[in-house]
């Protein structure tokens, strides 16, 4: 690429940058789109040398996680949202692999799985976690924790509040005659722009009237995940009973390592991976 072309692209990017009346920037298209599921995966420690004084290097299992999570989500989604053969040829021809896209957040051990309708990320994750609790079989080797998000946005207050109002309204509209006790579950990683107290207060302001805060015995949990410049929001029930969707913790409570439980599942019921080529390349 020539220097003149680089200069042109740089100038073009500056021209596209816009600001609101309050001075906050209007962000362009983000590389993470919601709704979807944040998937944190395990790290393994690998030594560069056999010598004891060598500093260990950290290697993530992101690629392996992508393969197994495709397989898992396709299996669950095919049960919850079977494809309707009466749809048009274009719609019927879409496999769940086509409907679920993944993106690796470079330099981290976090993967984002983008879910398209009719897949609901909250229902998808809850279904999986409940099955792990009941059977003791994780069906995954590298997945650590799952975080469903009903929507995502750039992590600044105007976008976060706009997203919260939409996600909360969608949930509460399904229960028009119920007054809920709620708790905000905020998790912030690699983000220092918005102070935590300010963020919690801003989220609370988006809850419709008629519902109250209860930190001891909430009925619902407002999950707010801020990771770098991205924020994800969802509303879930039984969050603590489901061990905060921590697959590793549930496996430990069942006294069964994830690797063994996955092998047991494969032996009992073989499942064709949704991303077969990727799976084969990592085995």
The residue among 157 and 94 whose pLDDT is bigger is: 157
Residue for token pair 């991303």: 275
Q: State residue 117's pLDDT score.
A: 87
Average pLDDT over residues 161-177: 96
Residue 17 scores a pLDDT above 70: no
Number of neighbours of residue 216 by Cβ within 10 angstroms = 6
Give the domains, in start order, of the chain with CATH numbers: 36-48+58-79+96-252 (3.30.2130.30)
The residue among 185 and 68 whose pLDDT is bigger is: 185
Residue 191 scores a pLDDT above 80: yes
Q: State residue 42's pLDDT score.
A: 66
pTM of the model: 0.71
Q: State residue 239's pLDDT score.
A: 96
Q: State residue 25's pLDDT score.
A: 52
Of 16-20, 73-77, 81-85, 152-156, least confident by mean pLDDT is 16-20
Rounded Cα distance, 152 and 211, in Å: 23
Asked whether 103 and 114 are in contact (CB, 8 A), the reply is: yes
Per residue in 29-78, pLDDT tens? 455 667 999 998 765 444 333 433 333 334 556 677 888 888 899 889 99
Q: State residue 69's pLDDT score.
A: 86
Structure token pair of residue 115: 């879910």
Of 3-17, 99-113, 166-180, 246-260, least confident by mean pLDDT is 3-17
Q: What is the mean pLDDT of the chain?
A: 74
Per residue in 146-159, pLDDT tens? 999 999 999 999 99
Long-range contacts (CB closer than 8 Å, 24 or more residues apart) made by 161-169: 161/202, 161/203, 161/205, 161/206, 163/231, 163/233, 164/202, 164/203, 164/206, 164/222, 164/224, 164/233, 165/206, 167/233, 167/234, 167/235, 168/206, 168/207, 168/208, 168/222, 168/235, 169/208
Average pLDDT over residues 236-260: 82
Residue 194 scores a pLDDT above 80: yes
The residue among 54 and 138 whose pLDDT is bigger is: 138
pLDDT band with cut points at 50, 70 and 90 for residue 103: low
pLDDT band with cut points at 50, 70 and 90 for residue 164: very high
Q: State residue 20's pLDDT score.
A: 47
Q: State residue 224's pLDDT score.
A: 97
Asked whether 68 and 140 are in contact (CB, 8 A), the reply is: yes
């Amino acid at each position: 690429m020539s220097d003149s072309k680089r200069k042109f692209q740089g100038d073009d990017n500056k021209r596209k940058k816009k600001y609101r009346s309050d001075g906050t920037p209007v962000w362009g298209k983000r590389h993470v789109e919601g709704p979807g599921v944040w998937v944190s995966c395990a790290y393994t420690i690998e030594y560069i040398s056999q010598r004891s004084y060598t500093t260990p290097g950290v290697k993530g299992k992101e690629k392996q996680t992508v393969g197994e999570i495709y397989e898992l989500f396709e299996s669950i989604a095919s049960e919850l949202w079977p494809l309707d053969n009466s749809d048009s040829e274009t719609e019927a021809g879409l496999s769940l692999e086509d409907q679920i896209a993944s993106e690796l957040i470079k330099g981290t051990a976090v993967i984002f799985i983008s879910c398209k309708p009719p897949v609901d990320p909250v229902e998808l994750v809850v279904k999986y976690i409940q099955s792990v609790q009941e059977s003791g079989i994780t069906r995954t080797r590298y997945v650590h924790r799952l975080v469903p998000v009903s929507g995502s946005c750039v992590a600044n207050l105007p976008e976060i509040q706009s997203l919260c109002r939409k996600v909360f309204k969608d949930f509460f509209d399904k229960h028009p005659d119920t007054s809920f006790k709620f708790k905000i579950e905020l998790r912030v990683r690699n983000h220092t722009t918005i102070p935590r107290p300010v963020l919690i207060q801003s989220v609370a302001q988006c809850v419709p009237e008629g519902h109250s805060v209860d930190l001891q015995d909430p009925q619902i949990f407002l999950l707010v995940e801020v990771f770098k410049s991205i924020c994800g929001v969802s509303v879930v029930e039984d969050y603590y009973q489901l061990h905060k969707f921590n697959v590793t913790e549930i496996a430990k409570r069942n006294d069964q390592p994830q690797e063994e439980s996955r092998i047991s599942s494969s032996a009992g019921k073989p499942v064709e991976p949704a991303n077969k080529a990727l799976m084969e390349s990592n085995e």
